[in-house]
């Protein structure tokens, strides 16, 4: 197949996005599998483009559209989200199709004005739409659904009623680059969707639960969910909606996650002994050195785990810098219902555990049990204590799990 071939989702409805094979860092979120920016084209009496792609990929998208229609013939452009991975090509496509009408949420309009005031915004014919607003394309009708804080204030979704296709923008996305376009063609997609959820949507659980209710009220029962990243859900729709419900309500599995850093190996020895103890309790455990593991994948493990042990050596009176970075990231993502344990090695005055403790307090996180510190090197008796702690953390994980 030609690399710029569009993919037909339903009669007259096409994927016209791009695959970013070498994407490894999406605004700081590690993407080892790459990613896609999905745009969609509906050919009806009005030719409609739903979202665009990151600006450097504009010509790829335009070539794909050209296989179906002349891009200058586009009548409507829906901007579901102003973030640049989706709105970035609007100035270019508006230059090609200057008479096209743009549609965005009210916050979307303000965002477009901010981003593109020097790129043609003043000339654009823009209409603000709300939840329930309908737009006839001729044979078919679109309905808009505001999805505030999924994941920006302007976020919106578009529902093609006649085909029951929900263009969900960033919700239900996954960062994977693939020549496949549908969920049933990819193994273990729920894990990729979970990594995406943990890093992008985790802070917004309560909004997601309300949003799922709103879909029911609006009688939106999609047969297809076409997000702005990754593949399209056509076979496992109930599974992904159910998974969002679980993640949004703060699910906790019987799992302990041990994250740490270490300069000379002492904190690492403590981490390994804790892991041994957890294994003795029969609970699943995972150990992640923060300079050797992708934080985005670690954050998915953190979302699943019910107990998190964090270890840091003291460096210059404070916690190690990867730990403080990770704690800042985690605090913003607001994981729910987790229990924490802190440990680490120090040489003289210490400070790592104190620093981590302060961070957890700011984030209002729960401490599972008293922290443990070792001066320089952990010896046999310290290792035994770490193992016992691990075992207890396993028991706490069993009690705290809800899934
Ligand atoms: C660059 C550097 C700075 C350090 N600063 C401190 C400090 O301010 N206070 C302290 O108690 N120990 C300090 N230490 C000592 C370490 O905390 C100690 O060696 C500890 O056992 C390291 O644990 P690790 O083997 O897990 O890296 C420092 C060590 C290094 C290498
Ligand atoms: Fe976004
Ligand atoms: Fe996005």
Q: Atom 28 of ligand 1 has which residue's CA nearest to it?
A: 315
Active site annotation includes 122? no
Active site annotation includes 304? no
pLDDT given at position 234: 98
Read off φ and ψ for residue 230, nearest 5 degrees.
85, -155
Beta carbons of 397 and 254 less than 8 angstroms apart: yes
Ligand whose nearest atom lies closest to the CA of 151: 2
d(CA 312, CA 353): 7
* Crossing angle (nearest 10°) for helices 295-304 and 189-196: 100
d(CA 213, CA 135): 23
**What is the DSSP annotation of 193-231?**
HHHHIIIIIGGGHHHHHHHHHHHHHTT---SEEEESSSP
> Distance of alpha carbon 338 from its chain centroid, rounded?
19
- Cβ of 262 closer than 6 Å to ligand 1, yes or no, is yes
- Cβ of 348 closer than 6 Å to ligand 1, yes or no, is yes
229 CA to middle of ligand 3, Å? 6
- Cβ of 375 closer than 6 Å to ligand 1, yes or no, is no
Read off φ and ψ for residue 187, nearest 5 degrees.
-80, 145
81 CA to middle of ligand 2, Å? 7
Beta carbons of 105 and 154 less than 8 angstroms apart: yes
Q: Does domain 7-248 sit in CATH 3.40.50.720?
A: no
Per-residue pLDDT of the chain (403 residues; tens, 9 = 90+): 444 678 999 999 999 999 999 999 999 999 999 999 999 999 999 999 999 999 999 999 999 999 999 999 999 999 999 999 999 999 999 999 999 999 999 999 999 999 999 999 999 999 999 999 999 999 999 999 999 999 999 999 999 999 999 999 999 999 999 999 999 999 999 999 999 999 999 999 999 999 999 999 999 999 999 999 999 999 999 999 999 999 999 999 999 999 999 999 999 999 999 999 999 999 999 999 999 999 999 999 999 999 999 999 999 999 999 999 999 999 999 999 999 999 999 999 999 999 999 999 999 999 999 999 999 999 999 999 999 999 999 999 999 999 8
Ligand whose nearest atom lies closest to the CA of 172: 3
Tell me the CA distances in angstroms from 51 to 27, 159, 175, 322, one per residue in order: 19, 13, 17, 36
Ligand 1 atom at minimal distance to the Cα of residue 312: 26
Active site annotation includes 83? yes
- Cβ of 267 closer than 6 Å to ligand 1, yes or no, is yes
| Coil, helix or strand at residue 5 | coil
Beta carbons of 8 and 181 less than 8 angstroms apart: no
pLDDT given at position 5: 77
d(CA 311, CA 352): 9
Cis bond before residue 151 (omega within 30° of 0): yes
Of 30, 229, 268, 304, catalytic:
229
Active site annotation includes 289? no
- All CATH 3.40.50.360 domain ranges in the chain, comma separated: 256-397
Structural domain 256-397, CATH architecture: 3-Layer(aba) Sandwich (3.40)
Ligand whose nearest atom lies closest to the CA of 349: 1
d(CA 98, CA 101): 9
- Pocket test residue of 314, 373, 383 for ligand 1, highest count of atoms within 8 A of CB: 314
pLDDT given at position 4: 65
- All CATH 3.60.15.10 domain ranges in the chain, comma separated: 7-248
d(CA 402, CA 255): 11
Of 3, 5, 27, 403, catalytic:
27
């Amino acid at each position: 197949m030609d690399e710029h071939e569009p993919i037909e989702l339903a009669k007259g409805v096409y994927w016209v996005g791009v695959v970013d094979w070498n994407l490894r860092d999406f605004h700081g979120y590690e993407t080892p599998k790459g990613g896609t920016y999905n745009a969609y084209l509906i050919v009806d009496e009005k030719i409609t483009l739903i979202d665009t792609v990151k600006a450097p990929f504009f010509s790829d998208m335009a070539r794909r559209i050209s296989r179906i229609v002349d891009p200058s013939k586009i009548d409507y452009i829906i901007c579901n989200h102003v973030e640049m991975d989706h709105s970035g090509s609007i100035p270019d496509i508006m230059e090609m199709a200057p008479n096209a009408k743009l549609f965005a949420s009210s916050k979307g309009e303000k965002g477009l004005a901010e981003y593109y005031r020097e790129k043609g915004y003043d000339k654009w014919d823009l209409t603000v739409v709300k939840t329930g607003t309908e737009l006839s394309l001729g044979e078919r009708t679109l309905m808009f659904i505001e999805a505030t804080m999924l994941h920006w204030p302007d976020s919106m979704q578009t529902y093609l009623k006649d085909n029951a296709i929900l263009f969900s923008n960033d919700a239900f996305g996954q960062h994977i680059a693939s020549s496949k376009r549908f969920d049933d063609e990819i193994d273990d997609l729920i894990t990729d969707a979970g990594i995406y959820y943990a890093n992008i949507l985790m802070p917004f659980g309560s909004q997601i639960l309300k949003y799922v209710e709103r879909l029911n009220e609006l009688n939106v029962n999609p047969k297809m969910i076409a997000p702005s990243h990754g593949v399209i859900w056509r076979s496992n729709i109930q599974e992904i909606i159910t998974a969002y419900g679980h993640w949004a309500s703060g699910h906790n599995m019987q799992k302990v996650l041990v994250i740490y850093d270490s300069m000379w190996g002492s904190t690492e020895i403590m981490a390994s002994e804790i892991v041994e103890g957890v294994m003795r309790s029969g609970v699943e455990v995972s150990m992640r050195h923060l300079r050797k593991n992708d934080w985005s994948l670690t954050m998915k493990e953190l979302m699943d785990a019910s107990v998190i042990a964090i270890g840091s050596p003291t460096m210059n009176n404070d916690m190690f810098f990867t730990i403080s970075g990770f704690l800042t990231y985690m605090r913003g993502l607001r994981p729910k219902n987790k229990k924490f344990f802190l440990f680490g090695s120090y040489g003289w005055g210490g400070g790592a555990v104190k620093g981590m403790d302060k961070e957890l307090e700011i984030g209002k996180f729960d401490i599972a049990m008293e922290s443990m510190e070792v001066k320089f090197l952990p010896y046999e008796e310290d290792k035994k204590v770490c193992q016992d702690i691990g075992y207890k953390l396993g028991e706490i994980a069993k009690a705290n799990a809800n899934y």
